[in-house]
Structure 1
Amino acid sequence: MENVIYEVSEGVAVITLNRPQAKNAIDAATAQAIEAAMDRLEADPSVRVGILTGAGGTFCSGMDLKAFLRGEVVVTPRRGFAGIASCPPPVPLIAAIEGYSVAGGFEIALSCDLIVASRAAQFGLPEVRRGLVATAGGMLRIPGLLPPNVAHELVLTGRMASAQEMAGYGLVNRLVDEGEALQGAKALAAEIAANGPVAVRTSKAVMRQSLHWSQDEMFERQDEAARPVFTSEDAKEGARAFAEKRAPRWSGR
């Protein structure tokens, strides 16, 4: 059985963590398979959006502690924990979450750009309860995504939080009924995939990278990144399609 399943349809890649017997926990083989999926996603110009989900009604329960005790390394050299946490792909990535998104599983979700979650989904960073710390992006990303006191509470207590609570703080983009997270993520992906792929990738890059830009340089660096978009074939096609009152035919150039 493959630890990770990669499927593409209509410009959307669905990457499924496929260890339901282990609640999709990350062992060495799974981390390497996720990295390979991210590399494939990044290299394929026909893929405009990626969806990351889990089989068997659970998104991911984090690091496989049995694998950890066996001495397995679940961090890859290029992309970090689970083959994604420290270096997500430039393609927009949606987490489709059913059940538990805990510890490293929550950190994988935080590596994505958008989250669609079942109303029954649960989130948490319980590392401190095991004498560990959330070093796969939890401590780094949560403070910028949630109100500071809420972020501190989640990390320092290790408590679980419902999808409704996380949606209330804006961390979850769309709440859906149980069992419909993947369907909801596909609907959101279709909205993104309908847009100009050059513009979408550049927009993601600017939003991610600008967090580290100073006020003095941010417009200059934004313009540097955006300039090729305005001279692209897609920009010309978008204008022509608008004038001709038809759907654009994007080339990704």
Structure 2
Amino acid sequence: MTEKTDTAQTPVLFSINEGIAEVTLNRPDKMNALTPEMLVRLDRAWHEIQEDQSVRVAVLSGAGTRAFSAGADLSRLTPLQTRARSAEDEWDEALLADPLLLNRALLRDIGITIPVIAAMRGAVVGGGMELMLACDLRIGGESCQFGLLEVRRGLIPAAGGIARVSRQIAQARAAEILLVGDKINADQALSFDLINQVVPDDDVLTRAHALATRMAENGPLAMRKAKQVMLESSGRPILEAFAKEDDAIKEVLRSKDAREGSKAFMEKRAPSFTGE
């Protein structure tokens, strides 16, 4: 077990245990609104998760019951981005020094090939919903309220919100979310195909961890490659997508895991995958 942070004062908690990385947004009193420090810590956590070959899957959640995340902290993050305030600490400076840090923190790239499960309760709005849209599997509690509300403030959800929601669900549903700017509840999100499951709030983390445990039994290289191809082929012509598959399967077939999977099947036992 690798323990990264475990204090109540740390706004992003991060640990790795038996192949499962757990990342928790930890500002429940502020509805887990995102600050510069949280973005820097998220960026560092995703980097370590991607580089750690022992990690099979990650679970992303928000502390407390009021919110997965209410998006950007309008008193800390937005004024810094608009230069209405100057950098006040190392976290502000790190964010300003790296223009791509926010994108990486909110998974607004396709470099993270580890599967990520979102475990959500309460408000999932603004940047919080954009972060959810970057996750591969999504477990929502019955209390969840989802929304990209930026148009109500004269803004647009430009941390992946527009690009992702318009690809992931039907156009009319995406337009409803993006252009009306109202919230939808968990059952509506399920009917829109925005989330995979709706469960009682008390069961969200249990269900997410059960899913992560099940996925941790899969071939890690296979999962990484499957996610990579899924992301890289999105929106491409079918022949280009086939080419991405071809490249991936060549690498997978040469792996120790592929041989182990076939051998374990023939021997009627559980495979012992190494990610190699």
Q: TM-score, normalised by structure 1?
A: 0.95
After superposing the two structures, state which structure 1 stretch, 68-77 or 89-98, moved more: 68-77
Q: Contact 2:19–2:56 (CA<8 Å) still a contact in 1?
A: yes
Unpaired segments ≥5 residues, structure 1: none
Q: How far apart are 1:65 and its partner, in Å?
A: 0.2
- Aligned to 2:75, what secondary structure does the other structure show? helix
Aligned length: 253
1 CA distance for matches of 2:250 and 2:101? 28
Aligned counterparts of 2:16 and 2:108: Cα–Cα separation in 1: 24
Partner of 1:61: 70
What SS class does the counterpart of residue 54 from structure 2 fall into?
coil
Aligned partner of 2:73: which letter?
Answer: D
User: More deviation in 61-70 or 76-85?
Assistant: 76-85
Runs of 4+ more than 4 Å apart: 72-76
Matches within 5 A, 1:1-16: 1-16=9-24
CA RMSD of aligned residues (A): 1.6
Mapped partners of 2:99, 2:209: distance in 1: 30
1:1-253 alignment to 2 at 5 Å?
1-57=9-65, 58-67=67-76, 68-69=78-79, 71=85, 77-81=99-103, 83-87=105-109, 89-253=112-276
CA distance in structure 1 between the aligned counterparts of 2:136 and 2:102, rounded to whole angstroms: 17
Determine what percentage of the aligned residue pairs are the same residue.
37
1:114 deviates by: 1.1
The answer on whether the counterparts of 1:237 and 1:250 sit within 8 Å (CA) in structure 2 is: yes
TM-score by length of 2: 0.87
Q: Secondary structure at the match of 1:183?
A: helix
Check whether the contact 2:233–2:240 (CA below 8 A) recurs between aligned residues: no
- CA distance in structure 1 between the aligned counterparts of 2:169 and 2:13, rounded to whole angstroms: 31
Farther off after superposition, 124-133 or 68-77: 68-77
Check conservation: 1:82, 1:108, Cα contact below 8 A.
Answer: no
Q: Is the 8 A contact 1:30 1:82 kept in 2?
A: no
Distance 1:102 1:184, change over 3 A: same
Q: Deviations over 1:156-178 (max 9, x none)?
A: 11100111111112211111111
- 1: distance between equivalents of 2:232 and 2:33? 30
Distance 1:164 1:82, change over 3 A: farther
Q: Which runs of 5+ in 2 are unaligned?
A: 1-8
